[in-house]
């Protein structure tokens, strides 16, 4: 797969406890992106954050939070990102979803099975 030039970045801000199809939502989003042969997906785990409720989620040792913030990032063509978002949008019941245009300068590596 080759992706160069203009692309689209999808960021999904959710919590670790969010579920999609009876599994962690972040895992389900990555599974669907992989099944759609998208360029790639990364899940980033935050150490602290808050959202619409203003409830603080933290990894601080004295406040053991089970629901740490996560960001799922996916970059691909606009058409592929839009199609993915149409499929997963109904699973995202909380959090925030953003998209932005990006310029893909390099996409290297050999695909694995």
Q: How far apart are CA 30 and CA 40, in angstroms?
A: 8
Number of structural domains found in the chain: 1
Report pLDDT digits (tens) over 21-55: 899 999 999 999 999 999 999 999 987 777 777 67
Within a domain: 113: no
- Contact, 77 vs 10, CB < 8 A? no
Q: Residue 26's domain is classified under what CATH number?
A: 3.30.70.120
Q: Flag whether pLDDT at 61 surpasses 80.
A: no
Domain containing residue 64: 5-104
Does the pTM exceed 0.75?
Answer: yes
Can you tell me the distance from the alpha carbon of 71 to that of 58, in angstroms, rounded to the nearest whole number?
Answer: 15
Q: Would you say residue 109 lies in a domain?
A: no
């Amino acid at each position: 797969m080759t992706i160069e030039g203009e692309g689209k970045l999808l960021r999904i801000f959710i919590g670790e406890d969010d579920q999609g199809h009876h599994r962690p939502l972040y895992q389900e989003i990555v599974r669907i992106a992989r099944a759609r042969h998208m360029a790639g997906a990364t899940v980033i785990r935050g150490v602290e954050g808050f959202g619409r409720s203003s409830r603080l989620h933290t990894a601080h040792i004295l406040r053991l939070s089970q629901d740490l913030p996560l960001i799922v990032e996916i970059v691909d063509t606009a058409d592929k990102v839009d199609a993915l978002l149409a499929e997963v949008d109904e699973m995202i019941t909380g959090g925030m979803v953003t998209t932005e245009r990006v310029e893909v300068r390099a996409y290297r590596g050999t695909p694995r099975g």
